Structure 1
Amino acid sequence: MGERVVPEPQRRRRRPTKQGTVLSAEAIVATALRLLGQHGSEALTVRRLGAALGADPSAIYRYFRNTDDLLLAITDELIAVAQQGWQATGDWQADLREIGRRIHRAYQLHPQTAMLAAYRTTGRAHEIGAVEVILGVLRDGGFPDAEAVRIYHAFVDQALAFAALDAAASALPPAARQADEGVWRETYARLPARSHPHIAATAPLLVAEMSTSGYPPALELLLEAAAARLARLRRPAG
């Protein structure tokens, strides 16, 4: 794609496309999300988008400079989905827990997109809003600025890393996913105690645990560590 974006007032298409869609940045992002879910990263082309929208592919240029610009808009839309309906409670741990769960859930709804988007930084409205909210939760919770930024970094990277990991797993073909899960039952659960005593002792727990996402317990560990740091900071010196 080229580097020519039409100014905002000139963008809106006056007549619907062949599919009955009034072309807009929002419609393009929604269609791109759907195509990515159906076909993976190969779907992110102006040709496929134009066909799905019933518009000339060159019309996409009116809204996005290139496919990377579009991907950043898609990423920002996932962030918007994660924030939708969230309300602060004033309890920083409860608020961060809910934000983390929402981020993870939003990306799992779009696993193919999550694998492309989880590591991107958009600098757009919804991402900026999310950064402001999370830092606010931490600073209002009593964390000094340096600690708030450090915990923000760990919290967001943890949520996005698990989002990408779990998205990649869920995007596997069903047979491959079932085979991976079966390894814990067919291989690990059958290892003898004489050679692998720790695996053998915990095998039933491993089989049950490793079929689920590691994000919920990881999130709790991070929150507990953050709470311990805050308690140390509040402890009187001496």
Structure 2
Amino acid sequence: MTEGARVPAERKRRRPTSSGVVLSADLIVDTARQLIDAQGAQAFTVRKLGAALGADPSAVYRYFRNTEDLLLALADRLIGESMVGFTRTGDWACDLRDLCLRAYRSALRHPQIAVFSTVRVTGRPHERRAVDTGIGLLLEAGFDEATAVRHYHTLIDTALGHAAVDAGFLRLAPAQRTADEQAWHAAYGDLPAEEFPSVHRVREQLPLMAGSAVEPALDLLIAALRAAR
């Protein structure tokens, strides 16, 4: 089960709803993901989830203690999906970069879920495995225990911080996203050199600000880690 909580055996059994749907923790998590992707986290309710499942909303609580328990299970599911296909190459720095970008890209595939998935600690199986993998890579690189933890914290929070920002951008209306992207040329391109000398000097490069900074940020950090060994 993906939620990672200790659930009594009678709650683990699959139970058909009145409409004939066989409920399971996986089905509930999948359906919750679809609802939040479509409507946003703030609009999500267990009542809506029950309707989408064709079940009484109270049936959800046979599998999850409460809404938070379900959302943490969903966040952990995304971590697990981000790790699918991850393989070590023998280069600890490249593997750390890949690990962090996988977490970032998972959040960007589900920007509505990133509202909570980027800021919560699930404490569940997939997150445990990801944390163990990341810290393990740093230990193998030769960092001591405390330094490995600090560096992992810095790297993963950088990736998730950028994910939260970039997911927020994706949640904007299309017209807002276009306006923000164009502002780097329209609002900054013609600023006078005498008043804004630095901006004027780099005006042709300012559209780069419209893209994500996650990869340059990770590259800077990982280059520093290589040098610190």
TM-score of the superposition, structure 2-length normalised? 0.93
Deviations 1:153-184 (A, max 9, x none): 10111111011111000111101111111211
CA distance in 2, matches of 1:27, 1:8: 17
Matching residue of 1:203: 203
Q: Do the aligned residues in 2 keep the contact of 1:17 with 1:53 (CA within 8 Å)?
A: no
Q: For residue 224 of structure 2, what is the aligned residue in structure 1?
A: 225
In 2, the alpha carbon distance for the partners of 1:229 and 1:85 equals: 29
Equivalent-residue separation in structure 1 for 2:110 and 2:76 (angstroms) = 13
* Offset at residue 117 of structure 1 (A): 1.4
Shift of 1:6: 6.0
Quote the Cα distance in structure 1 between the aligned partners of 2:15 and 2:36. Answer: 27
Identity rate, percent = 48
- Distance in 2 of aligned mates of 1:81 and 1:227: 28
Tell me the alpha carbon deviations over residues 51-100 of structure 1, each in whole angstroms, 9 at most, x when there is no partner: 11111100001011111111111110111011111011121111011111
- The alpha-carbon deviation at position 146 of structure 1 amounts to 1.8
**Which one is further off, 47-56 or 20-29?**
20-29
TM-score by length of 1: 0.90
Encode CA deviations 1:20-41: one digit per residue, 9 max, x unaligned: 6421111111111111111001
Q: Distance in 2 between matches of 1:161 and 1:176?
A: 21
Summarize the alignment of residues 5-20 of structure 1 with structure 2, pairs less than 5 Å apart: 7-15=8-16, 18=19
Hey, what's the Cα distance between the residues in 2 that align with 1:69 and 1:26?
13
Structure 2 residue identity aligned to 1:59: A
Following superposition of structure 1 onto structure 2, how do residues 16-165 of structure 1 map, counting pairs within 5 Å? 18=19, 21-165=21-165
Q: Is the 8 A contact 2:12 2:24 kept in 1?
A: yes
Contact 2:15 / 2:24 at 8 angstroms: preserved in 1? no
Amino acid corresponding to residue 13 of structure 1 in structure 2: R
Secondary structure of the equivalent of 1:69?
A: helix
Unaligned 5+ runs, structure 2: 1-5
Q: CA deviation at 1:17?
A: 5.9
Deviates further, 186-195 or 37-46: 37-46
In structure 2, distance between residues paired with 1:219 and 1:175: 30
Deviating beyond 6 angstroms after TM superposition, the runs of 4 or more aligned structure 1 residues are: none
What root-mean-square deviation, in Å, do the aligned CA atoms of Structure 1 and Structure 2 show?
1.5
Q: How far apart, in 2, do the equivalents of 1:101 and 1:178 lie?
A: 25
- 51 and 45 in structure 1: CA distance in 2 versus 1, 3 angstrom threshold: same
Q: Aligned AA for 2:222?
A: L
Q: Size of the alignment, in residue pairs? A: 224
In 2, are the aligned partners of 1:17 and 1:23 still within 8 Å (CA)?
no
Q: Is the 8 A contact 2:180 2:210 kept in 1?
A: no
Q: 1: CA distance between counterparts of 2:100 and 2:32?
A: 25
Aligned residue for 2:3? none
Q: Distance in 2 between matches of 1:167 and 1:214?
A: 13
